[in-house]
């Protein structure tokens, strides 16, 4: 075929649409076949839709199966897969709950964070130790399932007890942590008795004797950042009395700053120490207190975190009352800003 013939054929095809089907051909969409389908679906979703209605991303708490059944009861012929397709086209997706609500928010919450930060920088500039303290979640010790997975030969997982009954194990471990903010160094005192204020302060004392004193030989002050509740509660009389005893025995002036209510997750120890410990023992049954201490003590990170751990066999009884006279003996000086959260305890003269 010469070039002139080819040109004639090309001219003949000009203006011809490449479309194979005629306009309007092919399978009709569900909306076209069932005009009331979308309205009924939206009605079902309205009561269960969460999130910002102006957002491009919404989600629904009803399952595809339940939505399918509800639509079929309204006379629609539809499968759960078609329900899924319609939801995706309308901006819905499956999402889990997200922890964002912290309860009541104190008006001076941000100001307290700023105050703690300023105190921390001031202490670090003076080369004085700054620690963040808290008690990690209590752990069952024994042949119990531990969340997470680790590598094993296929079909050979660690076998553990079916039920988490405390009396079938060795008891509950109470890991109280101390995180050195400046040195990026962790210390965990694993208790076996009760999580009390006396246990919390004893843990800080152990940290000082084993690590702090050697790392800060010139230290005369110690800043402690703690949550506002639990064994280191800002309202605990025993906490303050035990801190006074710690100040007396070490000669350190203790500066304490508590985080505002409902903000415990912002404590540095939570995401700089405890999170790595949980990752280190995931999928490993904590069969004994010694195994637990070993797993904590072997913690190392690429960022340089090193953790020491000890087992505390001490007895810490609960419900110890502190009299007004004992509390008055504490050399406690409240700071100008929120003295109930921020205070200094000085050593008493010997």
pLDDT digits (tens, 9 = 90+) for 320-334: 999 999 999 999 999
pLDDT value of position 66: 82
Q: Specify the pLDDT at position 258.
A: 96
Q: How many C-beta neighbours within 10 Å does residue 28 have?
A: 10
- Beta-carbon contacts of residue 82 (< 8 Å; ≥ 6 apart): 30
* Stretch 117-126: mean pLDDT: 95
d(CA 329, CA 255) in angstroms, rounded, equals 17
- From 289, 297, 58, select the one nearest 173 (Cα to Cα): 289
Mean pLDDT, rounded, of the chain:
81
Residues paired with residue 171 on neighbouring β-strands, in sequence order:
141
**Minimal CA–CA distance to 318: which of 139, 174, 132?**
174
Strand partners, 134: 177
pLDDT digits (tens, 9 = 90+) for 288-303: 878 878 888 888 888 8
- Global pTM reads 0.68
Q: In whole angstroms, what separates CA 303 from the centre of its chain?
A: 19
* 271 pLDDT above the threshold of 90: no
């Amino acid at each position: 075929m010469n070039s002139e013939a080819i040109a004639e054929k090309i001219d003949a095809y000009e203006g011809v649409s490449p479309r194979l089907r005629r306009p309007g051909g092919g399978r009709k969409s569900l909306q076209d076949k069932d005009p009331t389908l979308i309205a009924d679906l939206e009605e079902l979703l309205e009561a269960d839709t969460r999130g910002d209605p102006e957002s491009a991303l919404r989600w629904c708490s009803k399952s595809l199966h339940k939505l399918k059944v509800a639509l079929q009861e309204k006379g629609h012929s539809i499968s759960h897969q078609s329900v899924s397709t319609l939801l995706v086209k309308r901006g819905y997706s499956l999402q889990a709950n997200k922890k964002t609500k912290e309860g009541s928010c104190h008006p001076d919450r941000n100001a307290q964070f700023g105050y703690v930060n300023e105190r921390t920088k001031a202490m670090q500039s003076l080369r004085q130790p700054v620690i963040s303290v808290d008690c990690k979640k209590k752990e069952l010790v024994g042949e119990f399932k531990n969340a997470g997975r680790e590598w094993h030969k296929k079909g050979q997982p660690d076998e553990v007890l079916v039920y988490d009954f405390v009396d079938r194990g060795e008891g509950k471990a109470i890991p109280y942590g101390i995180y050195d903010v400046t040195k990026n160094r962790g210390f965990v005192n694993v208790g076996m008795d009760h999580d009390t204020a006396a246990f919390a302060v004893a843990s800080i004392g152990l940290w000082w004797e084993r690590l702090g004193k050697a790392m800060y030989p010139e230290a005369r002050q110690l800043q402690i950042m703690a949550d506002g509740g639990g064994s280191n509660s800002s309202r605990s009389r025993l906490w303050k009395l035990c801190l006074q005893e710690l100040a007396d025995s070490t000669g350190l002036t203790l500066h304490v700053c508590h985080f505002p209510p409902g903000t415990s997750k912002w404590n540095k120890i939570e995401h700089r120490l405890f999170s790595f410990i949980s990752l280190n023992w995931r999928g490993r049954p904590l069969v004994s207190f010694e195994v637990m201490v070993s797993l904590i003590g072997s913690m190392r990170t690429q960022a340089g975190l090193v953790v020491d751990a000890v087992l505390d066999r001490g007895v810490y009884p609960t419900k110890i009352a502190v009299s007004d006279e004992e509390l008055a003996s504490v050399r406690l000086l409240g700071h100008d800003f929120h003295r109930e959260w921020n205070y200094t305890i000085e050593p008493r003269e010997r």
